[in-house]
Amino acid sequence: MNPAATSTDPLWMPFTANRDFKKEPRIIAGASGHHYTTTDGTRLYDMFSGLWTSGIGHCHPKIVEAVQKQVAELDFCMTFQIGNDKAFALAEQVTSMAPDGFKQCFFTNSGSEAVDTALKIALGYHRARHEGSRTRLIGRERSYHGVNFGGMSVGGIVPNRKAFSANLIPGVDHIRHTMGSEHVAFTRGQPEHGANLADDLERLVALHDGSNIAAVIVEPVAGSTGILPPPIGYLQRLREICDKHGILLIFDEVITAFGRIGEPFGAQRFGVTPDIITTAKGLTNGVIPMGAVLVRDHVYEAFMQGPEHIIELFHGYTYSGHPVAAAAGLATIDVYETEGIFEQARSLEQTFEDIIHSFADHNHVIDTRNVGLMGAIEMAPREGQPGARGLEAHKACFWDEQLVIRNGMDTLQFAPFLNSDVDEMQQSFASVRRVLDSID
Ligand SMILES: Cc1ncc(COP(=O)(O)O)c(C=O)c1O
């Protein structure tokens, strides 16, 4: 029996205001379906599907069983120069769900690792094709690509970058984010205006010359910075500009893949095919950490040259394609298919959109946004205290309404389960309204 914690002090928590949290800790000890249970036995509804991870709910029996079986059968084996059966099976499943032309995938342990892997693949691709001058990487403002040095550098979140600014990787630029001057608050779904914001890439091509640019990375829908749906035609325009200048297009689909916007990948939802896709989270329903990088044939083929006994990509993690994670991934995909999860997600979109936009009239609210089952209610910041109102709303949801939501500063974010029940959804947002009514 493991000892219970007697103090919260030894744990330095990620992306958390540690001192504030530890005054009044919010600690989960169990989960089942759409609910969490705290250490004192309180049940909470999870309105964030874990951390965008657990779209089919917690502790799904099929995934639990697959993981238990796998850990007893093959817990781990060497991943370099030897493979395990589950990793190959999962690669086959994942690539079969991907847009046409993605026949290979490389496993990582997280979204951050997937992003850094994708950036390295992009650089290696150009070098293999004797275009080694293409080293410049382009990200976008208000984007999140994880916390490793590559992802942090192409990312566009100021607090994440500020402390490390002198050591961000060199040769990175950013295009403007998609909430430009064209943005109209309270837009439902994809904004009609703003496709021209993609032309900002042409500005960087003009500055550096396209022959020096390796890749552009964007989230099809920026998630962590408050749900920014792409303007209609924006991703298509980015694709055109990349094609024109020989630049690889990377979609960071750590959030948007696996049904969050009603399709296996956002690329399919938006009808735009990138060259590389990164993913994680919904790959295993969050049960075991795992990420993946999917590449189109031409990217893979560029590496598969030269003597066959030589490693083509000098990159990998001890746990790339870990058998237990892969077993969780296989069971997750099985549930996606057998329970029609993506179809369920799609059928919930309109209800979700209506609920999110019903907050437009609230006096704290300055914008509401949605796409798929990703939604945001942005509140005005309190004078001189940005983020305070959002954190208070998050805590009031937890303590007073037994509801888990996420706040990014003063923007409340919602990621309902892909198989949500409409009543649960309505009750959760009735809770959110009571909270907004109760806070200053
Ligand atoms: C778009 C995107 N990329 C990368 C990451 C980083 O993933 P991880 O936290 O698994 O490293 C995230 C995490 O939310 C994300 O949303």
pLDDT in tens, 260-293: 999 999 999 999 999 999 999 999 999 999 999 9
Q: Which residues contact 68 (CB under 8 A, 6 or more apart)?
A: none
Q: Containing H/E element for 428?
A: helix 422-438
Give residue 110's pLDDT.
98
Query: For residue range 163-177, what is the model confidence (pLDDT) as tens digits?
Result: 999 999 999 999 999
Q: Would you place residue 181 in the very low, low, confident or very high pLDDT band (cuts 50, 70, 90)?
A: confident
Q: What's the chain's average pLDDT?
A: 97
Q: Which whole number is the average pLDDT over 125-153?
A: 97
Q: Are 175 and 204 in contact (CB under 8 A)?
A: yes
Summarize the confidence of residues 349-361 as an average pLDDT: 98
Question: Can you tell me the mean pLDDT for 20-47?
Answer: 96
Residue 418: pLDDT band by 50, 70, 90 thresholds? very high
Which pLDDT value is given to residue 4? 82
* CA 145 – ligand 1 centroid, Å: 6
Give, for ligand 1, the residue of 255, 265, 406, 413 to mutate: max count of ligand atoms closer than 8 Å to Cβ. 255
pLDDT (mean) for 12-29: 96
Q: Which of 191, 169, 168, 163 is nearest to 179 (CA)?
A: 191
Q: Name every residue whose Cβ is closer than 8 Å to that of residue 133 and which is 6 or more positions away in sequence.
A: 126, 211, 212
Confidence label for 183 from pLDDT (cuts 50, 70 and 90) = confident
Task: Decide: 329 in ligand 1 pocket, CB within 6 A.
Answer: no
CA-nearest residue for atom 12, ligand 1, is 146
Mean pLDDT (whole number) for 214-218? 98
Residue 378 has pLDDT above 80, yes or no: yes
Contact between 281 and 255 under an 8 Å Cβ cutoff? The reply is: yes
Q: How far apart are CA 349 and CA 374, in angstroms?
A: 9
What's 345's DSSP letter?
A: H
Summarised one tens digit per residue, pLDDT across range 384-409 is 999 999 999 999 999 999 999 999 99
What distance in Å separates the CA atoms of residue 437 and residue 440, rounded to the nearest whole number? 8
Give the distance (Å) from ligand 1 centre to CA of residue 184. Answer: 27
Determine what percent of the chain is predicted with pLDDT higher than 70: 100
Band the pLDDT of 1: cuts 50, 70, 90.
Answer: low
**What is the pLDDT at residue 207?**
97
C-alpha of residue 216 to centroid of ligand 1, in Å = 17
260: Cβ below 6 Å to ligand 1? no
Q: Is the CB of 112 under 6 A from ligand 1?
A: yes
- Give tens-digit pLDDT for 3-15: 788 999 999 999 9
- pLDDT value at residue 401: 98
Q: State the burial class of residue 243 (Cβ atoms within 10 Å of its Cβ: 0-12, 13-18, 19+).
A: exposed
Residue 37 Cα to ligand 1 middle (Å): 25
pLDDT of residue 87: 98
Task: Say if residue 48 is exposed, middle or buried (CB neighbours under 10 Å; 0-12, 13-18, 19+).
Answer: middle
Specify the pLDDT at position 23.
96
Q: Which of 109, 115, 152, 160 to mutate to test the pocket of ligand 1 (most atoms within 8 A of CB)?
A: 115
Q: What is the pLDDT of residue 3?
A: 72
Residue 45 near ligand 1, beta carbon < 6 Å: no
Say how many Å lie between the CA of residue 226 and the centre of ligand 1.
Answer: 14
Query: Which stretch of DSSP H or E encloses residue 406?
Result: strand 406-408
DSSP β-bridge partners for residue 407 = 412
> Encoding tokens for residue 33?
């379906």
Q: Is the shortest distance between the CB of 197 and ligand 1 below 6 Å?
A: no
